[in-house]
Amino acid sequence: MKVVTGVVGNDIHVVANRLIELSLHARGFEVFNLGVNTYLEEFFDAVVETDADILLISSLNGEAEGWSREIKILKSKYKNLDNLVMVIGGNLVVGTASPETIVPKYKNYGFDLVFHQVDLNTGLDTLEEFLKERNK
């Protein structure tokens, strides 16, 4: 299965991104890693270009929310993205907040899976289960 991944916005925290690439590979995904400092359009363009099944976005420096608000409008400009699985993870707010408030918010922005300060492997395990359920 194909995954497009990267870190959204002006965020240059690259460490998690490198690890994500490695882990997705190890789990048998075909990975297209756009790296840090990637804007939303670039993500969707890459999804279309590679015909990816999954878009997995990271955000560490707190910028995610500002960008996420624009997802729905932007996504609607593309065709055939209805089956795209959208995942986001990392540190999803500036300062601190609980998952109880964060997860519904991001689901509302259009994400299927939301991982705020969740360990990478836990997150990817959940993703794989989600995909299994979905393809039943």
Catalog residues that contact ligand B12 under the rule CB under 6 A. 10-16, 19, 56, 58, 60-62, 87, 89-91, 94-95, 115, 118-120, 123
Q: Which stretch binds other proteins (CB under 8 A): 41-49, 75-83, 92-100, 122-130?
A: 92-100
Q: How far is the CB of 13 from other proteins (least distance, A)?
A: 8
- Burial of 93 by CB count in 10 Å (0-12 exposed, 13-18 middle, 19+ buried)? middle
> Which CB sits closer to ligand B12, 5 or 75?
5
Q: How far is the CB of 125 from other proteins (least distance, A)?
A: 15
Q: Which tokens belong to 17?
A: 């991104």
Residue 24: strand, helix, or coil: helix
Q: Which tokens belong to 118?
A: 């969740």
Cβ-based neighbour number of residue 118 at 10 Å: 16
Q: Which tokens belong to 126?
A: 């959940």
User: What character string, x for contact with other proteins (CB under 8 A) and - otherwise, covers 49-68?
Assistant: -------------x------
- The option from other proteins, ligand B12, none interacting with 26 (CB < 5 to 8 A, set by class) reads other proteins
Contact (CB, 8 A) for 11 and 59: yes
Q: How far is the CB of 38 from ligand B12 (least distance, A)?
A: 12
Angle at 134 between CA 129 and CA 136, to 5 degrees: 100
Q: Which residues bind other proteins (CB under 8 A)?
A: 10, 12, 14-15, 18-19, 22, 26, 35-37, 62, 93-96, 117
